[in-house]
Chains A and B, each alone.
Chain A
Amino acid sequence: MTATNAIPSKPSALRKVGGKLAGLVLPGWSALVIMFLFTPIFFLVAMSFNDFKTIFVWTKFSTHWWGDMWDNTTMIDALITSIEVAVISTIIALILGTLAGLALARKPGRWTTGFVALVLLILVTPEIVDGAGQLSWFVKLEGPFREGLTPIVLVHTVFSSAVVTLIVRARVAGLDARLEEAAADLFATPIRGFFQITLPLVMPAVLSGGMLAFTLSLDNVVATSFVSPAGTTTFPNYVFGLSGGVIRPEVAAMSTVFIVGTLIAIVAVAMVLRRGGQSGTEIATTFTGN
Chain B
Amino acid sequence: MTATIGATAGPPPQKFRLRAPKFALAIPSIIWYVFLFVVPVVLVLVNSFGTKVAGTPGKVDLSSPTLERYREVIDGSFRTVLKQTMETSILGTVLCLVISLPVAYFLAFKVGPKAKVAVLALLMVPFFTNYLLRTLAWKIVLQPKGFVSNFLQDSHWFTLGQTLRDGPIQVLDSRTAVQLAIVYNYLPLMIFPLWVALDRVELHLREASKDLGAGRIRTFLQVTMPLAMPGIVAGLVLVFVPLSGDYVTAKLLGGVKGNMIGAAVAEQYFNAQNAASGSAIAVSLIISILLVLAVVAGVAWFAKRLLAINRNVKVPAR
Contact = CB atoms under 8 A, between A and B. Distances in A.
B28 interface: yes
Given A103-B25, A259-B130, A132 B269 contact: yes
A161 B29 contact: yes
A225 B266 contact: yes
B4 to A, nearest CB: 5
B314 interface: yes
Interface in A28-77: 29-30, 33-34, 36-41, 43-44, 47, 55-57
B201 interface: no
Interface residues of A, number: 102
A200 interface: no
A27 B111 CA distance: 9
B53 interface: no
B218 A3 contact: yes
29 contacts: A1-B314, A27-B110, A30-B103, A30-B107, A33-B187, A41-B129, A96-B29, A99-B25, A103-B22, A107-B22, A111-B23, A121-B37, A126-B285, A128-B245, A128-B266, A129-B285, A132-B265, A135-B275, A136-B40, A137-B40, A137-B43, A158-B32, A158-B36, A226-B269, A236-B133, A262-B129, A280-B116, A284-B121, A290-B196
A157 interface: yes
A27 B36 CA distance: 45
Given A109-B23, A243-B252, 19 more contacts: A57-B143, A99-B29, A100-B28, A121-B37, A125-B41, A132-B278, A133-B43, A136-B279, A137-B40, A158-B33, A190-B17, A191-B4, A239-B132, A239-B133, A243-B251, A258-B133, A263-B128, A281-B113, A285-B196
A22 B192 CA distance: 22
Contacts of B9: 189
A27 B110 CA distance: 9
A88 interface: no
User: Interface centre among B29, B131, B315, by most A CB within 10 Å?
Assistant: B29
Given A132-B278, A189-B12, A281-B113, A263 B125 contact: yes
Nearest to A97: B29
B106 to A, nearest CB: 4
Contacts of A162: 33
Interface stretch (B63-71, B73-81, B159-167, B234-242): B234-242
Interface string A1-24: 101110110000001000100110
Interface of A: 1, 3-5, 7-8, 15, 19, 22-23, 25-27, 29-30, 33-34, 36-41, 43-44, 47, 55-57, 95-97, 99-100, 102-104, 107-109, 111, 115, 118-119, 121-130, 132-137, 139-140, 154-155, 157-158, 161-162, 165, 184, 187, 189-191, 215, 218-219, 221-222, 225-226, 236-237, 239-240, 243, 247, 255, 258-259, 262-263, 266, 279-281, 284-285, 287-290
B289 interface: yes
Interface residues of B, number: 109
A290 B192 contact: yes
Given A102-B25, A104-B26, A187-B11, A38 B58 contact: no
Nearest to B148: A39
Contacts of B99: 33
B116 A281 contact: yes
Contacts of A15: 215
Interface string B278-318: 11001001100100000000000000000100110011000
B291 to A, nearest CB: 14
Contacts of A190: 4-5, 7-8, 12, 17
Interface string B187-228: 110011100100100000000000011111010000000000
Contacts of A285: 196
A130 B242 contact: no
* A-B interface, 6 closest residue pairs, ranked by CB to CB distance from nearest: A126-B245, A8-B213, A133-B40, A280-B117, A40-B137, A103-B25
Contacts of A281: 113, 116-117, 120, 199
